[in-house]
Chain A
Amino acid sequence: DTEVTQTPKHLVMGMTNKKSLKCEQHMGHRAMYWYKQKAKKPPELMFVYSYEKLSINESVPSRFSPECPNSSLLNLHLHALQPEDSALYLCASSQQDRAQETQYFGPGTRLLVL
């Protein structure tokens, strides 16, 4: 089983809303990732969690707040977003937090900020 699940699939929010994106994997992977992807562009790394601890933050604005409650779950809390934050948000996981490890992606959450 190489499945990473994400909810919700679609999300529309206003600039004053607070919402959360959820990601789950049951492959026993110890590294989990959040990516942001604009149309027809490759994914851009936002955060990396390794063994439930934040290991990389790619200078992401504080209106994005990641959380890793346990080894299977990864959340991304959203607050006071801007329209330019509209994108596909992808979660991924890998066996270990090493760059040569293959990452498995979820289906993504399509976010629209109005």
Chain B
Amino acid sequence: TQLLEQSPQFLSIQEGENLTVYCNSSSVFSSLQWYRQEPGEGPVLLVTVVTGGEVKKLKRLTFQFGDARKDSSLHITAAQPGDTGLYLCAGAEGETSYDKVIFGPGTSLSVIP
């Protein structure tokens, strides 16, 4: 069974601190997405990574896809209260319509002013 794990599950930090969230699997993924979700709202896509070793930057957010395409990390520099939310990683093992997107359990981030 495909499984995506995320760590930590919960994270509470002060404004201005840096943090890293991890998404791990024993399976190889053809692509992986990171989403941020605020309470009562739908997940908002942050990034899609497809190439092993790929690094993408989105302002203060840096995303990395592992060389073996089994893991990914999200690093936030100088966190702000607006970064608060549930961070979900989602991945697909295969490329066909018979393969489903798998969601990790999420990391709930709280940035305290």
Contact = CB atoms under 8 A, between A and B. Distances in A.
Contacts of B31: 100, 102
Interface of B: 30-31, 33, 35, 40-45, 48, 50, 86, 88, 90, 92-97, 99-101, 103-106, 108
B99 A43 contact: no
A99 B33 contact: no
Given A90-B42, A90-B43, A105-B42, A100 B94 contact: yes
Which among B40, B43, B48, B86 has the highest number of chain A CB atoms within 10 Å? B43
Contacts, number: 72
Contacts of A48: 97
Interface string A28-63: 000000000000111101001010000110000000
Nearest to B4: A42
Interface residues of A, number: 28
A102 B42 contact: no
B90 to A, nearest CB: 8
A100 B30 contact: yes
A66 to B, nearest CB: 16
Interface of A: 2, 4, 6, 40-43, 45, 48, 50, 55-56, 88, 90, 92, 96-100, 102-108, 110
Query: Interface on chain B toward A: helix, strand, loop, or mixed SS?
Result: loop
Contacts of A104: 45
Given A99-B94, A99-B97, A100-B99, 14 more contacts: A6-B42, A43-B43, A43-B88, A56-B100, A99-B92, A99-B101, A100-B30, A100-B95, A102-B33, A104-B45, A105-B44, A107-B41, A107-B42, A108-B40
A13 to B, nearest CB: 18
Nearest to B86: A40
